[in-house]
Every structure is written in C-alpha cells, then in structure tokens.
Chains A and B, each alone.
Chain A
Amino acid sequence: MTGDPGIVIVGASLAGLRGAEALREGGYDGPLTLVGDEPYRPYDRPPLSKHVLAGELPPEATALPQQRPLRAHWRLGQPATALDRTRKAIRLGDGSEVPYTKLLIATGARARPWPGEGAHLAGVFTIRGRDDAAALRLALARPPKHVLVIGAGLIGCEAASCCRDLGVPVTLADPNPTPLARVLGTLVGGTIVECLRRADVAYRAGTKVRALMGEGGHVAGAHLHDGGLIETDCVIVALGAVRDTEWLAQGGLRADAGGLTCDAACRALTRAGDPDPDIGAAGDVARWPNPLYGGREMTVEHWGNAVEQAAHAARSLLRPDDPRPYRHLPAFWSSQFGINIKAVGLAEGADAVAIVQGDRAAQRYLAVYGRSGRSIAAVSFDQARWLPSYADRIAEGAAFPPILDATDQGRVEILAPGFPPARPGPAADERMREMAHV
C-alpha cells in the first residue's frame, strides 16, 4: 500500500462511472476507489420506468458498459455516512474508514417517498432503482385490478404508459390541469392529455391525494383532498426526488435535501463559501451556478447532465490550477405512449411558445419557448431531427421566434405556454423540482 490513498468516488452510478472513466482518460494513474450504496455495478435508470416495467428487459440487463479499464477498488453495498475534511477520510456504513486525496461526490438522488399516511402499505411503490423496478414489475405482472399513479411528471407518465401497454387499468392523478405542466406548460402538456385519452388512462387533473388507506396491510384506496376516493390495489408514487446529504452538511459543506452546492467548476463549497479544491461533485446531487443562465444555481436531474458534468468535475479535480466553468444546456428525452419526447433548455418562466415545425393536432411537432423576446427552450414530439439546430440557437440566446433556413418550416403559430402559478414555499425548492426527471 502506498502513502497516497488516491481518488475516491462516492456514488457508483452513471455520474460515478463516467467520472471514473474521465479521470483515467485525463491521465490519472493513481489508486481509484468507487463506493456505492447499492450492491450493483453501475446501471442505467431510464429503462427502468420504460422497458423494465413493460417486462421487455430484465432489471439486470441495464448494467452500463464500462468504456475503459479503471483498475478500481469497488466498495459496493456500503453507504458513505460521514465526511471528515480535516483528516481527509470518509466513513462507511460498516464503520470502516476510507481515506482520500481527492473526492468526487456523485450520490444522485432517491425517490421522494409518499409523504402522507399509508406509505408503508404493501402495493405502494416508487421507481428509482433496479430493486424498485423489479418489485413493481412483479406486481404489474400479477396483474393488479387498478393502478393509481400519483404525479404526472415524466416518470409518472412513463409508468402509466407501461401499465396501458400491459392492459392494466390506470388512473393518473396530479394537481395540475395537464401532465408535465411545470416542465413544459399546459399548452404542450395538452398533447400528453390527448395521448392519455387515446390510451384510456383516466387522467384526474386538479387532484390531490391526501392519504392512502389499506385493508389487511395492503393498499386499497386513496383519499383525496376534495373528499373523494379512488379504489386501487397498486399505487405508484412519482413525486420527484430528494437527496441524503446530511453527512456532507456535517462535513462542513453547503448541502441540503436539494443538493450539494458547488462553484462554477463543480467543486464543493464549504460553509464559508470557498470551494474545496479536493472535492468535486456531479450528476443529480450537484447544484452549481450555470454560466449559461447568468450564474443561476441549479441542479439538473437528467442523464445527459450526469455524463457531461462528471467529465467536467473530473477535469477540475485533475487540473486545480485551471478551473473552468461548466456551461450546460439542460436536455432530456422520454418515450411514452409510442411518442419520443425530447427537450432542451429550461422552459420554465416562458411567456410564449411557437410551433415551429410540424403539426400540433397530429402530435408531431417542435415547439420553441420564448421569454422577453429570447428563445430559451424547445421540445419535440416525434420531430427530433431539427432539435439540435434549435438547441444551438437557444444556447446562443437567439431572438424569439428563432428563424432557421429550414425548408419544411411552415407558418409559425405563437401561443401562450400556460405555466401554472408558482407554488407557495421557498423559491429554492421550486427551482429544484423544475429541472427534475420526475
């Protein structure tokens, strides 16, 4: 054993793996340790709420390819529970200590559990990990009499879509008038309402579930705030994600349930507000001031960010003399009801939306969002071909509506995006959810 404990990565999933690969690619040759809470090597989460639930892929098929040799120590099945920055070591769940020279924090997020009564009833599920998806898959294969999905975000809609593919009756409940209302607005959300209608999903807009009630320990129904009741024997809670970062806060870093705050180069900030040059962060857990948005602090809980930010944070650890800001245009994809949805930018706060390609009625179109005369985001429904061109315009802050020299661009229709009013509560909490793959 040498005197140099080397680089330790906490969180062995997408960002952890890609961070490890980037460190080796960047020429780092010393010891490398990956610590992971889950017992599995890194795997891919997007298929969980799609093909795994549908029974098309076994959960273990989602293991991610490792693109280069890492020669790493894997400490799997152990959470990191404490950080001691003075002694430069972390403690694991089994009490052992792991010293580090540099640390990359990639602990992601976990599903927000059902906050009300009935969270521990059998038949109540969340979808974040392989085991969650495997358990829910078993329940869906039985099949249940009636599924209730709480929360019409991306994961909630994907799950509802799988249920219908399996022929299982499903109700989707959300307080907003349409699914994805906060991410894409109700105008574009209306496209999903149409998909739900065609697929025979009962969409309950303006519906807030108050409590889940059981019979003999198994869920039997959901009580609504308005006094109503939905009978169900299987509940999928899709209310977004939270982070377990108390151990980092105790280590003197700026961390809370919304993420670990970093500088622009993705290095963790201490309580005093300066970056610790030996600690980087990436993926769903990392909150950083994004230069593309005037340094506004954000977390981006999508696949593409985990990949890019991991490489950036790895570079910042290897090149402390040359920290560079991480400039990122958020992006995600989702597939549901047979439609491919792709989005770039942050549509939140848009004051207009322009249908720039395709046809809304045919559910095949590309919409660009504008705010104060600038193009800020775009979404495509089965119209991905033009998205990269609009993404470039958005990253440049081009005028709205953006003009492309596209031959198949018809008349541009400009409409109100229909974002629901901001929820009461701390603004930081609002921001955190808007960018989540929930």
Chain B
Amino acid sequence: MRVVVDLNRCQGYAQCCYAAPDSFELRGHEILFYDPAPPDEARPRIERAQQACPVRAISIEPASLDREDAL
C-alpha cells in the first residue's frame, strides 16, 4: 500500500509511531521517517496512525482503489 506524509504539516507529535511502530519512526528531535510502501497487512495499523495524527498529515491509498479506478 502507498503512504505519504505532508511533512510541512507534521509537527513530530509521534502519535503515528505509537500506532504503527513498524512504519513510522521519529529520529532526533523531530524528523519523521516513514515507510511509504508498507505491506498490505499493515493497513489497520496505518489507518489507526492516520486517525491518531493531530494535524491530519498522513494520506493513504484507499483499499478499494484498484477496483474503482478502472476505466
């Protein structure tokens, strides 16, 4: 699955790191390092991370995309 974080918006609050520690990691004081292509099994945790982010900086590709994106 695909993930992108708006790092202008991100405040380094680290809530995402608690929700999905395999995919989000805080480095130094406030650098967020994240996996933009986590495995599909991680989706529930990543969705929790998205919900937990206080500034709504995390965007993810919807699970239904492939089905609905066809021409």
Contacts and interface: CB of A to CB of B under 8 A. Distances in A.
A308 B6 CA distance: 12
Given A67-B59, A340-B29, A382-B28, A62 B36 contact: yes
B61 A65 contact: yes
A340 B36 contact: no
B2 A338 contact: no
Given A67-B61, A71-B71, A385-B11, A364 B3 contact: no
B28 A339 contact: yes
Residue from B1, B7, B60, B62 with most neighbouring chain A CB atoms (10 Å): B7
Instruction: Decide if the interface of chain B is mainly helix, strand, loop or mixed.
Output: loop
A294 B33 CA distance: 37
B42 interface: no
Interface in B1-41: 1-4, 6-8, 10-12, 27-31, 33, 35-37
Interface in A56-91: 56-57, 60-73
Interface bin, chain A: 35 or more
Contacts of B29: 339-340, 364, 382
Contacts of A51: 33
B69 A63 contact: no
Given A47-B36, A62-B36, A63-B2, A71 B28 contact: no
A247 interface: no
A46 interface: yes
Interface stretch (A206-214, A329-337, A400-408, A412-420): A329-337
A56 B33 contact: yes
A44 interface: yes
A288 interface: no
Interface of B: 1-4, 6-8, 10-12, 27-31, 33, 35-37, 59-62, 65, 68-71
Interface of A: 44, 46-47, 51, 56-57, 60-73, 303-304, 307, 331-333, 335, 338-340, 342, 364, 382, 384-385, 388
12 contacts: A44-B36, A47-B36, A51-B33, A62-B37, A63-B2, A65-B59, A65-B61, A66-B69, A70-B69, A303-B7, A304-B6, A331-B8
